[in-house]
Amino acid sequence: MPEYPEVETLRRNLSRTLPGRVIAAVDLRLPKLLQPAPGLDPADLVGRTVQGLRRRGKVLIIDLSDGLSLVLHLKLTGQIVLVDASGQVVAGGHPVPAFGSPLPHKATHLILTFTDGSRLFLTDLRQFARVFLVRTVAVPALPVLQGLGPDPFDPDLTPEAFARRLRQRARAPLKTVLLDQRVLAGLGNIYSDEALFLAGLHPLRPAGQLSEAEAERLLQAIREVLTYAVTYGVAQVINGRAVRGRPFPRVHGRAGEPCPRCGTPIVKITVGGRGTYLCPRCQPLAVPAPAGVGHADPSS
């Protein structure tokens, strides 16, 4: 968190209201959060007009007037909330603190105030998020954007191209490969579990063992899961548990609950150090996993 759906939803929602607003003041409360390029300073933001928003993988890019850009990587717990002068709220990113909580929060580290009275708050409980202030032309060269794989919806990412990418890490478990941003940009822990469930593939299957048909099915599942999240609402997972009463996510954060497809209890295992959820019946492990790669999590 936040992953592709959270950042893309935030981009779309902010794009409806943020462009055209002019920055009047910058309140930086955690200096390490904002990293200006040489020759730039937070004060350079004052007077700049928001021109548009872009996304690359899990990174949000806010383009400003006169050739400057803010590049925001929310990491694990970053959250952005825009509150206009009338109190209307646009929020996205990590759901803690709850959207609608009083702001600024004790973990609010950056506040941009606009000339129309609206304010944009960046809150991060764990202080991992980073904001880069750079010349727009230099955005592609930022280390945070280097080496990223294609977007899941890149038209050049054909099933054949995706299968080739999987074969490049042939012995690695599927879940580990899907989390590798060099393979595919934007996918994270929650939505990789959801895509593997939809595709009926076990997270520990070696990536190189997938047939062309399985690779195509997985790519389609990734796109379906991301489209669903952006269209109908992102996954609500609080403290590692999916919010009850909601149909999505289907398996992530639901250890012990019945599989929505067959009723078998969802189990939690560990893959590459990440909590991973699956249905053992719908996602059988066709090939034994290498020793020590994954194990049942006793907390499940």
Catalytically annotated residues: 2-3, 58, 274
List own/partner pairs for 149-153 with CB under 8 A and 24 or more apart: 149/180, 149/181, 149/182, 149/183, 149/184, 149/185, 150/184, 150/185, 151/56, 151/57, 151/185, 151/186, 152/4, 152/184, 152/185, 152/186, 152/187, 152/219, 152/222, 152/223, 152/226, 153/223, 153/226
> Nearest Cα to 196, choosing from 212, 227, 174, 211?
174
Cα separation, 203 vs 294, whole angstroms: 9
Radius of gyration, alpha carbons of the chain: 20
Cα torsion through 153, 49, 120, 90, rounded to 10: -50
Q: Are 89 and 99 in contact (CB under 8 A)?
A: yes
For residue 134, give the amino acid letter: V
